[in-house]
A and B are shown apart, each in its own frame.
Chain A
Amino acid sequence: MLTRFENRPHALDVIGVSVAFGEVCVIDNVSFHVDVGSTLAIVGRNGSGKTVLLKALIGAVRASGTIRWAPETRIGYVPQKLDIQRDLPLTGRDFLNAKADVARAPATDAQRVAGLVNLSQSIVDQPIGTLSGGQFQRLLLAFALVGTPSVLLFDEPTAGVDEPEEKSVYALIHQLQQNEGLSVLVISHDMTQVQASADHILFLSHHGSYFGKTADMLNSERLQELHGPTVAHLRE
């Protein structure tokens, strides 16, 4: 039986990618792909190399192996919580306009994306250092959406935000994916969200990496042996 993404082209192919810092191998020979319009969840314990992998995908970290984005891919990246100076004289509008300028998007794009992520104009006009955790995460999401990306990369998009806001951010991501047909790569510790939204899972650990469809990954005996608690949580 074919799943809904079986015949879709790939937005991303990663083949035998490794990352080492000096003598320390952080990621060893990882391979996976992302279908156009699908969601890949990257899971694993702290220190398993999830963030390093995303940074390798955006070219911020040197990696060996093959990382092949589909032609004309436009990437939007939402990093883990950023430390911003509180007194930085930059408003959300300055920040979004700067991205629109660099992405050669229309000047009205800043307003459009602010609306997409439900950020009011008064919040957009505040200095970014004064925004709450949830507001800032929405601003980062809006920043990623400027220039109409085809792929969104999220590194724990709800780190540092409270539970209601967390649900709201995930609902927003899901809605954007449905409406804009985006491919999504998301690092998450929230297994409920992973199970609900991911089409594929990439499991990273010091013992190796495992990639497959969400349902298959949940039933993997090998994974249960190695990562019992996490996989058990997923199965629940």
Chain B
Amino acid sequence: MTYATGPGAFLIPLGMAAAAGLMGSIAVMRRMALASDALSHIALPGIAIALLVHVNPFLGGLIALVLGTVLVWAIEYRSRIPTDVVVGVIFSAALAMGSLLASGDELIEALFGAPNTSDSFNLIGLGAASLVIVFIVRYRSQLVIRLVSPDLARPAGINVPRLDLLYLLAFALTIALGLRYLGVLLMGSLIIIPAATAMRLGTNLRTMQTISVAIAMLATLSGMLLAPVLCLAAGPLVIVIAASIFFLSLAVRRA
């Protein structure tokens, strides 16, 4: 087992964690926690195909996530089937296809991540994390009104279908960012667990989002630092730390 070393190796995971914390804050308020977790599995067939044709798996996962996301959005708006139902069906299909196409170590790596991987996508990863953060900050007000009620959003001049598509695409990008470090199975958890903790502790939007980002970054940093010391895989350790913070938060009485 190899581990990330040097200050530069932490930059992208921390950027990914910040993006995950912000994205999750909106997802949990929209009651998309389970759909979020399932959505990350859509990357699997893309990763499998990329491995088969010897292309960067991150790229394969990203393409599958973008296509899957657009499909989820289109089915939802055409058929009026709720997002979680559409995501549930596409998730199952993607998981089955991915399992058929990939095998052995490659599949394990895709499911749980490989933090030691180093490639030319570092700069793109940092750019993508920045893009997600800018999206949430730029569209925060629209997203807040949309999550309270789409019926309030439309008269306020918000293009709800367009906003939903952009949000899902930003969501897909956030998941793609974490695929290398946490894998398909765990990335959804880094989006949801810190935000779920922050939802318990925060009493307004600003504190909730700050707490969510802080927990995601803290869990990621401490997981990556502790993994070599404990001889454990970094990805699962990051999620165990995030989940531990969540359970600790249950002891805190909300103001």
Contact = CB atoms under 8 A, between A and B. Distances in A.
Residue with the highest number of chain B CB atoms closer than 10 Å, among A79, A88, A93, A143: A88
Contacts of A102: 141-142, 145, 156-158
A199 B7 CA distance: 71
Interface string B131-159: 00000000011101100111110111110
Contacts, number: 77
Interface in A101-120: 101-103
Nearest to B80: A21
For chain A, which range describes its interface: under 10, 10 to 19, 20 to 34, or 35 or more residues?
20 to 34
B29 A88 contact: yes
Given A77-B152, A85-B31, A143-B152, A90 B144 contact: yes
Nearest to A82: B149
Given A93-B204, A98-B140, A58 B145 contact: no
Given A90-B29, A102-B141, A153-B155, A60 B203 contact: no
A198 interface: no
Given A89-B29, A143-B152, A99 B145 contact: yes
A32 interface: no
B149 A95 contact: no
Contacts of A157: none
Interface string A28-58: 0000000000000000000000000001001
Nearest to A126: B203
Interface stretch (B46-54, B99-107, B194-202, B223-231): B194-202
A156 interface: no
A60 B141 contact: no
B205 interface: yes
Contacts of B156: 99, 102-103, 147
A127 interface: yes
A77 B144 contact: no
A102 B156 CA distance: 7
12 contacts: A82-B149, A85-B31, A87-B200, A94-B144, A99-B145, A101-B141, A102-B141, A102-B158, A103-B156, A140-B152, A143-B152, A153-B155
Given A79-B152, A89-B204, A95-B145, 5 more contacts: A82-B148, A88-B29, A90-B205, A93-B204, A102-B156
